[in-house]
């Protein structure tokens, strides 16, 4: 995704003169199969005329609605649009609401529309969002209204910069404060240098320093990374992009800062594959100023043949199976893209589902071109890591620990007691995975559920998972593990909140520490576990 920062030459004279001059022209496109705009933000002066063209390059309908300032990136307005129900389509999912400043119609695939409007005279951040049901969480951006536009001076750079280098393998940011650094020292000049030639993968860095604020007000921080990162100002988290992922367009967040020096802390870890990190900040008296050597808009500087994006696998009426190296899954990963916009990654080595996510499925270019090396992360959003261990175990009591995850299994072997039996496909290409455990035959199947099947009247998406176990005799103490690795909140009515606004619903599930378990009970030699993964937006 690219980020356009644009302005007009007359801004140096008076921002209000722009309202009478040639409109500022900006084009925003939708990204095919990614449910995102290609433009994260753009900059205009107060009162400037804007000619915005929305080009829908996707196979789904989309619109663009500019709203009054809101901390939720327009989500509340989108939910108001979704509440229109049957009237939504004829109203183009645009409610009669004072928060709406300008809007396109809902565009069919491969259509475009020009929208001309006058920017507000009050400086601030004005979100734009797609209000078509279910799209707003990913399809949003910010129109930045700033006096002087890009003619404002650059802001202060980081001072007293230091770094600490750590070695380790993580899937989420650790607490570097509890770890001993391998190396530490001062940063190069005033910019953040983040690559270490001796360490290509599996390291982390903590950057610290001071940022000077000269004028009180909202200051916006922009962060993009591959892999996880987090910015803290004066000890408080402002913006984070944690987990294993490509940098994408990054994230932005604002915080009110008083004049004076403020403590800056940036934590970052690199897992495998590409290593990228970009940080900038914007204030009421200065334009976007980069704190890293490379800016997101000018990167990556690679030849086209070296790019690892560009062949997104698009799920339509039939499921897609992608067998390859997938980030967050073992060496025998099988990704499943389901009709309905939900996806899962199955670990054939552990006979378990490791990841679920929503939106776009996966980009095959990394493995289908060039050398085909490295792991490919999911292409969508709201990715939830469920488990990196076997799904079934016999526990001696309520305090018994789950068996440790097997390590370094020889190729072709499975954990003790397990044997993977492959999968079969139905007419829509949806797989049913099969394996055995201690004489128990297991079938594991997932498919998207209609929105109407979702609980609590939510407007997101739901994946149904049904695990069927067959045995000649009951196994005392047998449990099925649904999720592990992080503290699981106690659920109500069988609903348990997970990460990324996703909840899990399973009747009979219980929480034991960081494990979410279901005791397995057989009736006439059959046990059935029904699980729902619900994306709440």
Tell me, what's the pLDDT at 370? 56
Residue 299 has pLDDT above 50, yes or no: no
Residue 8 has pLDDT above 50, yes or no: no
**What does 235-261 look like in DSSP terms, one character per residue?**
TEEEEEE-SS---TT-EEEEEEE-SEE
Tell me, what's the pLDDT at 283? 85
Torsion of CA 222, 225, 227, 228, to 10 degrees: -20
The DSSP bridge partners found for residue 209 are: 264
Tell me, what's the pLDDT at 249? 64
Say how many residues make up the chain. 537
Which of 428-447 are b and which e, b meaning 16 or more Cβ less than 10 Å from the residue's Cβ? ebbbbbbbbbeebebbbbbb
Q: For residue 383, what pLDDT band results from cuts at 50, 70 and 90?
A: confident
- pLDDT tens per residue across span 175-199: 999 999 888 999 877 788 766 655 6
Residue with tokens 């007000």: 217
Tell me, what's the pLDDT at 189? 75
Which of 105-142 are b and which e, b meaning 16 or more Cβ less than 10 Å from the residue's Cβ? bbbeeeeebebeebbbeebbbbbbbbbbbbbbbbbbbb
Residue 520 has pLDDT above 90, yes or no: yes
- pLDDT tens per residue across span 227-264: 899 999 999 999 999 988 887 767 888 899 999 999 99
Q: Look at phi and psi of residue 498 and say left if phi exceeds 0, alpha if psi is from -120 to 50, else beta.
A: beta
User: In terms of Cα–Cα distance, which of 300, 340, 303 is closest to 320?
Assistant: 340
Percent of the chain at pLDDT > 90 equals 46
Torsion of CA 66, 70, 71, 76, to 10 degrees: -80
The DSSP bridge partners found for residue 126 are: 143
Range with lowest mean pLDDT among 18-27, 165-174, 271-280, 396-405: 18-27
Range with lowest mean pLDDT among 28-42, 426-440, 482-496, 517-531: 482-496
Tell me, what's the pLDDT at 310? 61
The DSSP bridge partners found for residue 113 are: 54
Range with lowest mean pLDDT among 68-72, 302-306, 429-433, 501-505: 302-306
The Cα 49–Cα 316 span in angstroms is 40
Tell me, what's the pLDDT at 188? 78
Tell me, what's the pLDDT at 402? 92
- pLDDT tens per residue across span 469-517: 999 877 789 999 999 977 677 777 888 988 777 889 998 999 988 899 9
Percent of the chain at pLDDT > 70 equals 86
Q: What is the mean pLDDT of residues 335-354?
A: 93
For residue 80, the surrounding DSSP H or E stretch is: helix 75-82
The Cα 74–Cα 88 span in angstroms is 17
Q: For residue 19, what pLDDT band results from cuts at 50, 70 and 90?
A: very low
**CA 92 and chain centroid, separation:** 27
Tell me, what's the pLDDT at 18? 37
The Cα 191–Cα 153 span in angstroms is 18
Q: What's the mean per-residue pLDDT of the chain?
A: 84
Q: What is the pTM of this model?
A: 0.47
Q: Hey, which of 38-42, 58-62, 356-360 has the most confident mean pLDDT? A: 58-62
Tell me, what's the pLDDT at 174? 94
More confident residue, 5 or 481: 481
With a CB cutoff of 8 Å and minimum separation 6, the contacts of 244 are: 171, 227, 228, 271, 327, 328, 377
Tell me, what's the pLDDT at 390? 94
**CA 148 and chain centroid, separation:** 33
């Amino acid at each position: 995704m690219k980020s356009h920062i644009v302005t007009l030459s007359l801004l140096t004279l008076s921002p209000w003169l722009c309202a009478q001059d040639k409109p500022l022209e900006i084009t925003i496109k939708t990204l095919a199969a990614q449910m995102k705009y290609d433009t994260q933000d753009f900059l205009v002066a107060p009162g400037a005329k804007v000619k915005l063209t929305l080009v829908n390059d996707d196979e789904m309908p989309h619109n663009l609605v500019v709203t009054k300032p809101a901390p939720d990136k327009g989500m509340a307005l989108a939910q108001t649009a979704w509440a229109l129900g049957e009237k939504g389509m004829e109203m183009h999912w645009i409610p009669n609401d004072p928060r709406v400043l300008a809007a396109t119609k809902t565009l069919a695939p491969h259509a475009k529309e020009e929208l001309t409007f006058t920017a507000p005279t009050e400086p601030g951040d004005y979100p734009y969002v797609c209000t078509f049901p279910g799209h707003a969480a990913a399809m949003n951006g910010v129109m930045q209204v700033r006096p002087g536009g890009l003619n404002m001076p650059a802001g202060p750079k980081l001072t007293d910069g230091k770094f600490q280098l750590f070695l380790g393998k993580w899937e989420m940011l650790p607490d570097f404060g509890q770890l001993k650094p391998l190396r530490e020292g001062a940063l190069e000049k005033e910019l953040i240098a983040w690559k270490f030639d001796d360490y290509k993968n599996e390291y982390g860095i903590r950057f610290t320093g001071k940022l000077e604020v000269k004028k009180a007000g909202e200051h916006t921080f922009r962060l993009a990374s591959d892999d996880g990162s987090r910015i803290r100002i004066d000890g408080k988290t402002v913006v984070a992009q944690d987990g294993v992922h490509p940098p994408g367009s990054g994230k932005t967040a604002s915080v009110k800062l008083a004049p004076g020096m403020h403590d800056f802390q940036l934590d970052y870890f690199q897992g495998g594959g590409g290593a990228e990190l970009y940080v900038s900040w914007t204030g009421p008296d200065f334009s976007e100023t980069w704190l890293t050597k490379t800016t997101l808009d000018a990167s990556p500087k690679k030849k086209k043949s070296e790019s690892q994006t560009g062949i997104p696998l698009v799920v339509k009426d039939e499921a897609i199976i992608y067998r390859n190296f997938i980030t967050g899954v073992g060496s025998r990963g099988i990704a499943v893209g389901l009709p309905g916009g939900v996806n899962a990654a199955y670990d054939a080595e552990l006979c378990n589902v490791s990841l679920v996510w929503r939106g776009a499925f996966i980009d095959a270019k990394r493995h289908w071109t060039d050398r085909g090396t490295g792991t490919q992360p999911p292409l969508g959003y709201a990715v939830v890591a469920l488990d990196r261990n076997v799904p079934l175990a016999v526990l001696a009591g309520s305090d018994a620990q789950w068996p440790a995850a097997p390590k370094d299994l020889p190729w072709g072997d499975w954990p003790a007691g397990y044997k993977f039996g492959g999968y079969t496909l139905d007419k829509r290409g949806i797989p049913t995975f099969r394996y055995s455990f201690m004489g128990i035959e297991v079938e594991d199947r997932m498919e998207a559920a209609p929105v109407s099947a979702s609980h609590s009247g939510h407007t997101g998406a739901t994946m149904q998972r049904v695990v069927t176990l067959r045995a000649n005799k009951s196994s005392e103490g047998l449990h099925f593990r649904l999720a592990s690795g992080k503290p699981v909140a106690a659920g109500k009515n069988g609903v348990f909140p997970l990460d990324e606004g996703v909840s899990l619903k399973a009747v009979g599930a219980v929480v034991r520490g960081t494990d979410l378990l279901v005791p397995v009970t057989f009736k006439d030699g059959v046990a059935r576990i029904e699980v729902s993964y619900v994306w709440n937006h």
